[in-house]
Structure 1
């Protein structure tokens, strides 16, 4: 397949590079039912940046020079009134740990944009003044999804039916039955844990769409049941990815989302194994909704069981996410998880890498 690419700005040039939308012209790509397969892993824990999700664009809209969240967009401000500002700092965490890729019949009507996650209830508000991405029906665009942590998985990209009314609660009956794009483990670009890092794919938007719509993305991890949900408000008016409804693009856009620390101690040992406990502390000055701890076990050791968290392993590399009940930590607050290892020896590590997310 030959591809000719045309690079066009998503926003004015002074916007940071991750707010650019790359549009491409493909010679033979059908508009619906596309399936993409790419080498490598989809490694992320985040939300769409192209077209931007409500949480991503509202975070950008509300961020100030001091790191405080003070939304200018009226819909973003209304979301803050409902859910507070903590979800803005955690814009990459609209997830369900028990999702297992489920959609209709699992996520309730009226709660699609939060995925049924009560931390993000304010982003379900039916309004016509959310930040808006301008697109052209049938055009081929490069989608971008922020990469915050390492997870393989699939993406399912849906869109609302013709006649969608953004001032009414979003229901599954408003959505087209099938995704117009299905994306299989797209490649990672950049370093996870940063705003600029993303993984991306190219695909055609549906033909014949006009006016206001929501592009709804579901990201299903292939190594756990964790599933992410998002709403991107768009309008098909001949646009090339421009975003309106957010504050001055010269505003600050990239503070750290928070800070955490993780300390490890061995609580018991025996011939052929040991038990350990890790204490995770919010060391930043803003609340957080989730955390991740990752480290490498000594050779010959493996995790036999783990509690108060969800674990992903690859060889000696271990990544632990918070459980559903212990991810929300105020500044200075701590929680713990424990695990049992089989294998000879102990682990000399006392401090482990920790990230918010």
Structure 2
């Protein structure tokens, strides 16, 4: 199983001439590669040696026609920057595979309920090594859901269809960001499943509110990880012989700028292009200067920016073996925010400055998933705390817990008037009753 997923990833990247390096810092991005997610296996099915897209799978072809190429070239970017671990009640039924359509790329076509998506064949009750690509490394939790027995794959996927079967925090990985490296952990699948099902994997980062989403189509038919519905049956493509001397081609796919602060912006672009590419540069189109560089990873945090300033940036590919650079991509424009004092400067905003509401989003034997929504009152709040008596957890995101008190994470301590943030956690024991909690 591990060999299959790794070889598919390596082949897809090699087919478009990427030489990916490890150890490059960036925001976390990735997708399930075993069992292969829709966006990942459609990318493997579609990408050609020239970097163009030509899917043979009919569901993948329809998704490309409906949503365009950006979701393919950024198959690892199915995300919501403000997800914060939220599930039912936040992500609407029918949009679960795309995470509610709140990301920078259009993955909505991958919600289509149909039975001809690329499929991984499994055996119910067996234990498999799940693998989630890590375009970058960040701490966090992976929640694995499987549709319940009797699921209708021709109907839109809803939260009532899904059962949480596994949750793991900070699993090991096979190497640094980029390329075919991945996180891995063992998952024992339910023994009562038969026929076609969906495995939904929710990656919840613990160092920011950014979340990632993957729907993997599986068939419980006694298989052992075989994948059908991609390619022509001849197996992974061989790497082209042009590297390392071929000139780098312009990166494909649309640029995006997310997580913009007063001094930083996260820039993403497509991973496919022709030629030999060993790295990328983000350039300021006004000055021609290089704002940031990566070694093979198609995303980077651009830091050291000026507050309240508009930037227009593009990306060029490099071949460090020859010193050549490609023509730049199209540009993306963003404006940095005003400087503020940052979270935690006022640990006591005063009584009545905020409210907090607790609810349970999922339950199982011996545990539950809960969330607390903290909302500022009529004035801005900088530094809040919520009484969390009765809550026992070792896994929390969007905040920290100690001595029965929840305090903000590094990124959500400051709330504008009326603004909300969400703290999610995996609790042990019986879930407390929902309702208001003391917030100050």
Q: TM-score, normalised by structure 1?
A: 0.65
**For the structure 1 residues 95 and 253, does the alpha-carbon distance in structure 2 shift closer, same or farther, using more than 3 Å as the test?**
farther
Instruction: Choose the corresponding residue for 2:201, options 190, 207, 217.
Output: 217
- Work out which of the residue numbers 150, 154, 160 in structure 1 matches 2:147: 160
Residues 93 and 61 of structure 1: CA distance in aligned 2, closer, same or farther (over 3 Å): same
Whether the aligned pair in 2 keeps the contact of 1:64 and 1:252 (CA below 8 Å) is no
The answer for the alignment partner of 1:293 in structure 2 is: 301
130, 135, 158: which one aligns with 1:148: 135
Residue 231 of structure 2, aligned match among 247, 260, 283:
247
Shift of 1:170: 1.0
Q: Whose Rg is larger?
A: 2
| Conserved 8 A contact 2:130-2:185 | yes
CA distance in 1, matches of 2:39, 2:239: 14
Contact kept in structure 2, 1:73 and 1:130, CA below 8 Å = yes
Within the candidate set 87, 90, 108, 1:121 is matched to 108
d(CA) in 2 for partners of 1:140 and 1:108?
30
Residue 239 of structure 1 and its aligned partner are, at CA, apart by 0.6
* Corresponding residue for residue 238 of structure 1: 222
User: Is this contact kept in 1: 2:38–2:118, CA < 8 A?
Assistant: yes
**1:245-284 equivalence runs, <5 A:** 245-248=229-232, 249-251=235-237, 256-257=271-272, 260-263=280-283
What CA distance in whole angstroms lies between the structure 1 residues aligned with 2:239 and 2:98?
23
What is the SS of the residue equivalent to 1:87?
helix
Q: Is the 2:11–2:237 contact (alpha carbons within 8 Å) kept by the matching residues of 1? A: no
Paired position in structure 2 for 1:109: 93
Q: Secondary structure at the match of 2:96?
A: coil
RCO higher in structure (CA 8 A, sep ≥6) = 1
| Equivalence for 2:333 | 335
Q: CA deviation at 1:10?
A: 3.8
The alignment status of 1:81 with 2:79, answered yes or no, reads no
**RMSD between aligned residues:** 3.8
Aligned residue for 2:98, secondary structure, equals coil
State how 1:25-40 maps to structure 2 within 5 Å: none
User: Cα distance 1:261–1:171, how it changes in 2: closer, same or farther (>3 A)?
Assistant: same
Residue correspondence of structure 1 range 36-47 to structure 2 within 5 A? 44-47=28-31
How many residue pairs are counted as aligned between the two chains? 267
Map of 2:182 onto structure 1:
198
